[in-house]
């Protein structure tokens, strides 16, 4: 059986993802020249990448379906990513825009929930 040819990402793909972001790791932009994924120096980064790669799409589906578990899963993802970047910046990198975006979305969600609750209470009267 002849050895399988491993397709390498283009130099443009490598240049567009120079940092070790979760999306770059999952999409394969960090494949080495011999065609293997680079070994993670930190096991926590591998676990966080795999967990968030599964949980964020599940949260998106739950939010899109307007189910009650969607915001819960999103909160778990946001809290995990916030703890990663704000609590352990040496390991995961200090990505303050991500932390700020999660905080802003959480505040907006809470304001909408309070407005919906007040509107329902006013309709009952």
| pLDDT mean by block of 10 residues, the chain; 125 residues | 51 48 56 55 73 92 94 94 89 88 95 95 92
Q: Are 46 and 35 contained in the same domain?
A: no
Q: Are 100 and 111 contained in the same domain?
A: yes
Q: Where are the alpha helices (DSSP H) in the chain?
A: 11-16, 22-27, 43-64, 69-82, 89-92, 96-124
- Owning domain of residue 5: 1-39
Q: Are 62 and 2 contained in the same domain?
A: no
- In this predicted structure, what is the pLDDT of residue 59? 94
Q: Are 76 and 111 contained in the same domain?
A: yes
Q: Are 23 and 59 contained in the same domain?
A: no
- In this predicted structure, what is the pLDDT of residue 49? 81
Write the Ramachandran bin of 66: left for phi over 0, alpha for psi from -120 to 50, otherwise beta: left
Question: How many domains are contained in the chain?
Answer: 2
């Amino acid at each position: 059986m002849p050895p399988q040819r491993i397709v390498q990402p283009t130099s443009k793909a490598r240049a567009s993802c120079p940092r070790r972001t979760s999306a770059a790791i999952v999409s394969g932009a960090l494949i080495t020249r011999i065609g293997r994924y680079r070994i993670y120096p930190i096991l926590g980064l591998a676990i966080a990448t795999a967990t968030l790669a599964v949980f964020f799409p599940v949260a998106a589906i739950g939010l899109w379906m307007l189910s009650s578990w969607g915001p819960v899963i999103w909160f778990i993802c946001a809290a995990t990513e916030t703890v990663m970047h704000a609590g352990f910046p040496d390991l995961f990198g200090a990505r303050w825009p991500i932390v700020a975006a999660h905080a802003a979305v959480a505040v907006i969600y809470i304001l909408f929930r309070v407005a919906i609750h007040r509107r329902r209470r006013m309709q009952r009267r």
